[in-house]
Amino acid sequence: MSWLSSFFSAAHRPLQERLAILIAAAVTAAVATTGVAAYALTLLTVYDQLDNELVEVASITSDALASDLENMGGIDDSVWQAANVIVMVVRADGHQMTPPDGHATLELGPEELTIARTSYGWSSRTGLDSAGEAVRIVAVPLVDSDTYYALVLGRPLAPTLAILQTTGLSLLVFGGIGALVAGATGYAIARSSMGPLRQLAHAVVSITETNKLTPIEITGDDEVANLGRSFNQMLSALESSRARQKRLIADAGHELRTPLTSMRTNVELLVADERQGMLPEGARSEILRDVAAQLGEFTQLVGDLVQLSRDETVQAAPEPVDLRDVIESALARAKRRGPGLAWNVALEPLYLTGEPDALERAITNLLDNAVKFSPPGGTVTVELRGDRFRVADQGPGIAEDDLPHVFERFYRSEDARTTPGSGLGLSIVAQTIQAHGGWVKAGHAPEGGAEFIARLPGSPIPPEDEWELEDADDLAPFVD
C-alpha cells in the first residue's frame, strides 16, 4: 500500500508534477501490461509448439513401440537422445517401461496414468526428470492387443527457459526504458501544457501588484486558450467598469460642484438673514425658490449620471415593447412642459425587445430638447415610420460645428449655455439607442429647426401574430 499513499501524497504537489506523474504512471502501466501480455503469449506459444512436436514424435513412433513394448520397439536410447526426447511407457496398472540403457526417466503423475487407463485424449504438463530438471511431458494412448498403455514423452526445458528468461529480461529492460522515456515525455508535456496557465497566474499576480489590467497573449485553440480568452474578456469587462466608475466620479465632481456651490451660497444667505435680517422683503422667498429649483436640477443631474454609469448592454425583457405606447407616455409628459406648442404626431406600429423605462427616458429627453428650443406657438413633429423615429422642431437648429458633438457628455453649444440642463440628456439618448442595437443622428429639419432621427430594430407585426403567420405557413402544405 506504500505506492497508494505515495500517489495520494502527490496531490499536494504542484499541478505540473502531478500531470507528469500521472502521464508517466499511465504509460508505465500500459508498458507493463503489454510486457506481461507479450511474455504470457510467448510462453503459451512455446509450450504449445513443444506439445505439438512431442505429439508428432509419438504418432511416428507409436506403431514401432506397439510391436515390441518390452524392448521399446528396438529403438536404441541414443536415438531418443539425439531427438532430445525422454521416452517411457506406462501400463494401466502403473507398470513403467523404459528403453534399454535409458539413463534419464520421467517422474510420472496421475495425468499419465489416467491416459493409460482411459486410452482417450492426451495430456501435457511441466514436470521433472530423474535428475530434477524441468521437462515438458506429453502422454498419448497406446494399445497393445487388449492392454492399455500410455506413451509418455518428455523434452528438457532448459533451452526453452533460457529463451523465456532472455525474453522476460528484454521486456523488463525495454519496459523500464519506456517508463523513463514516458516520465520525461510526461514532464515535457506537463510543462508545455502548464505554460499558458503559468502565464495566466503571472498575469493575475501582476494585476494584483500593479493594478494594471493588461491582457495576456493567446496562442492555440484548446481549452487553456479558451480560458485565456475568457480571462481577457473578464479584464475587458473590468476595464470598462473601471472606466465608467472613473468617468462617473469625474463627471460628478465636475458637474455637481456648481449647483452645490450655488445652494451653499443661498443657504448661507438665509442663515445670515436669520441672524441679521439683512435681506429686503421678498428676497427670502426668492432665494427659497432658487434653492428648490437647484435641488430639482441637482436631482436630475444625479439621475442622469447614474443612468450613464450603467452597463451599456441591454438585458432582454421577457415581453416585447410596443414603441407607440412608450412614445405616447413620453408625449404626455412633454406636452405638459410645452403647453403653448403644437404637436404633429404620426405613429406606426413597431415592436421590439428592450427596456421600456430606458426607452421612455431617452424619448423624453429628445422631446424635452425640442420643447426647450421651440419658439412660442411652434410645432414639434413626432413620427414613427417603419423602424425610424423622428423628432423635429422649429427652433434655431444646430450649428454645423456643433453637430458632431451634440451626443457627447456635458457638451453644450454657445446658444444653449444660458438654458437649463446639464448637457447629459442627448448622451443618455445615444447610449440607450445604441444599447438596443440602433443608432441616432442629429441634423437640420425641413421645418427649419433641429432634427433627430433614431433607428430601433423591430417589427411592425406583434410577436403573437408573427407566430400565427409562421404556424400558418408551416400548415399550408397540409391544407387543401
Q: For residue 99, is it within any domain?
A: yes
Report which DSSP code applies to 129: B
Residue 15: its pLDDT value, please?
67
Q: For residue 197, is it within any domain?
A: no
Residue 17: its pLDDT value, please?
72
353: left (phi over 0), alpha (psi -120 to 50) or beta: beta
361 and 298 belong to one structural domain: no
What is the distance between the alpha carbons of residues 150 and 366, in angstroms, rounded to a whole number? 115
Residue 31: its pLDDT value, please?
80
Report whether 306 contacts 244 (CB < 8 A).
no
- The 10 Å Cβ neighbour count of residue 281 is 6
Q: For residue 470, is it within any domain?
A: no
What is the distance between the alpha carbons of residues 480 and 478, in angstroms, rounded to a whole number? 7
235 and 304 belong to one structural domain: yes
* Strand intervals (E) in 340-378: 342-347, 351-352
What is the distance between the alpha carbons of residues 56 and 54, in angstroms, rounded to a whole number? 5
Of 141, 157, 173, which residue constitutes the final position of a domain?
157
> Tell me, what CATH number does 410's domain have?
3.30.565.10
Q: For residue 245, is it within any domain?
A: yes
342 and 450 belong to one structural domain: yes
* Buried-state track 180-206, b at ≥16 Cβ within 10 A, e below 16: eebbeebbeebeebbebeebbeebeee
Helix or strand run (H / E) with residue 144 = strand 134-144
Q: For residue 361, is it within any domain?
A: yes
302 and 416 belong to one structural domain: no
Q: For residue 267, is it within any domain?
A: yes
pLDDT in tens, the chain (480 residues): 454 455 445 555 666 677 777 777 777 788 888 888 888 888 888 888 888 888 888 887 777 777 767 666 667 666 777 778 888 888 888 888 887 766 678 888 888 888 888 888 888 888 888 888 888 889 988 877 778 888 888 888 888 888 888 888 888 888 888 778 877 877 777 777 666 677 777 777 777 777 777 777 777 676 667 777 787 788 787 777 777 667 666 666 665 666 677 778 878 777 777 777 777 767 777 777 777 766 766 676 666 666 655 555 445 445 688 999 999 998 988 888 888 899 999 999 999 988 888 888 889 889 988 898 889 889 999 999 999 999 999 888 888 888 887 887 666 555 554 455 556 778 888 888 988 889 999 988 887 888 999 999 988 888 766 545 454 455 444 444
Q: For residue 111, is it within any domain?
A: yes
227 and 354 belong to one structural domain: no
> Tell me, what CATH number does 123's domain have?
3.30.450
What is the distance between the alpha carbons of residues 426 and 410, in angstroms, rounded to a whole number? 9
What is the total count of domains within the chain? Answer: 3
405: cell is 458633438
> Tell me, what CATH number does 244's domain have?
1.10.287.130
245 and 342 belong to one structural domain: no
Residue 6: its pLDDT value, please?
55
Residue 188: its pLDDT value, please?
77
85 and 151 belong to one structural domain: yes
358 and 257 belong to one structural domain: no
Report whether 254 contacts 230 (CB < 8 A).
no
140 and 245 belong to one structural domain: no
336 and 282 belong to one structural domain: no
299 and 331 belong to one structural domain: no
Q: For residue 136, is it within any domain?
A: yes
Of 123, 157, 191, which residue constitutes the final position of a domain?
157
357 and 298 belong to one structural domain: no
Structural domain for 422, as ranges? 321-464
Question: Residues 317, 318, 321, CA angle at the centre, nearest 5°?
Answer: 60
